[in-house]
A = this chain, B = another copy of it.
Amino acid sequence: MGDFLPDNASDWLHWIDLLGVAVFAISGTLMAHKKHMDGIGVIVLATVTAIGGGTLRDLILDVPVFWVSDNSYLYAILLAALITIIWIRRSDRFPLRFLLHADAIGLAFFNIMGAQKALSMGVSPVVAVMMGTMSGVFGGLLRDVICREIPLVLKGELYATACIIGGILYTLCLYVGMASHWSMAAGILVTLTIRLLAMRYHWQLTVFHPPTNH
């Protein structure tokens, strides 16, 4: 990773990664609650959502899967799920907005972390942007498929699009020589901003003519 990161970078990269894992665990827990799941199924769904994207990324890059040699990720998931459970038990309405916002934050973190890890393995920028997008959307895709929801990533509102734009900006920042941590911050912020604005104003990419009926 020496090409992209200063020496003391692995520390704060790890914390950002943990944060991304935790917010996706929260979004998995909230979805489980929405679907009236209970018991350990909640933890299972939180875990799948939180580590699904990064696990696929590491398998495809053929590097050690990030949570196998480092217990802190599993503890972060458990902690995030437990706090969310306690919080839901004390509250009395479903926080759909929180689910979507937690999902957006996890998406932004995982997108740029995924692209960064892919670049550090020497792949081309095109593949790095795709690996970032995949890291960002795959955990949530698994969550939605398991819960038999239409996946968020397929419902428009610039979900994968935000990842692609944020990823391209991140690789461009690196290309023009910006410091690694500023490039990452820029990529994360842009991904998050586009996704939040798209949710707020229901932005859509339209590629087909709208069907007259279905």
Binding site for B on A (CB under 8 A): 32-33, 36-45, 47, 55, 59-62, 64-65, 67-69, 71, 74, 85, 88-89, 123-124, 126-127, 130, 137, 141, 145-148, 150-151, 153-156, 158-161, 164, 204-209, 211, 214
Which of B41, B47, B74, B89 meets A127, CB within 8 Å?
B74
Contact, CB under 8 Å: B126 / A71: yes
- Roughly how many angstroms separate A41 CA and B155 CA in the complex, as a whole number? 7
- Roughly how many angstroms separate A141 CA and B145 CA in the complex, as a whole number? 11
Question: Which 7 pairs across A and B sit closest by C-beta, in order of nearness?
Answer: A39-B205, A41-B154, A39-B156, A40-B160, A40-B161, A60-B65, A71-B126
Contact, CB under 8 Å: A89 / B208: yes
Contact, CB under 8 Å: B146 / A146: no
Contact, CB under 8 Å: A68 / B61: yes
- Looking at the assembled complex, report how far the CB atom of A120 sits from the nearest CB atom of chain B, in whole angstroms: 14
Give the residues in chain B near A137, CB-CB below 8 Å.
Answer: 44
- Looking at the assembled complex, report how far the CB atom of A147 sits from the nearest CB atom of chain B, in whole angstroms: 8
- Roughly how many angstroms separate A141 CA and B33 CA in the complex, as a whole number? 19
Contact, CB under 8 Å: B205 / A38: yes
* A204-B74 contact in complex given A153-B44, A154-B44, C-beta closer than 8 Å: no
- Roughly how many angstroms separate A141 CA and B41 CA in the complex, as a whole number? 11
- Looking at the assembled complex, report how far the CB atom of A50 sits from the nearest CB atom of chain B, in whole angstroms: 12
Contact, CB under 8 Å: B68 / A123: yes
- Roughly how many angstroms separate A41 CA and B68 CA in the complex, as a whole number? 31
Determine the residue in chain B with the shortest Cβ distance to A152.
B41
- Known pairs A41-B156, A89-B208 / 13 extra A-B pairs, C-beta < 8 Å: A36-B214, A39-B204, A39-B206, A40-B158, A40-B161, A41-B154, A42-B207, A44-B137, A61-B68, A74-B130, A141-B146, A146-B151, A148-B150
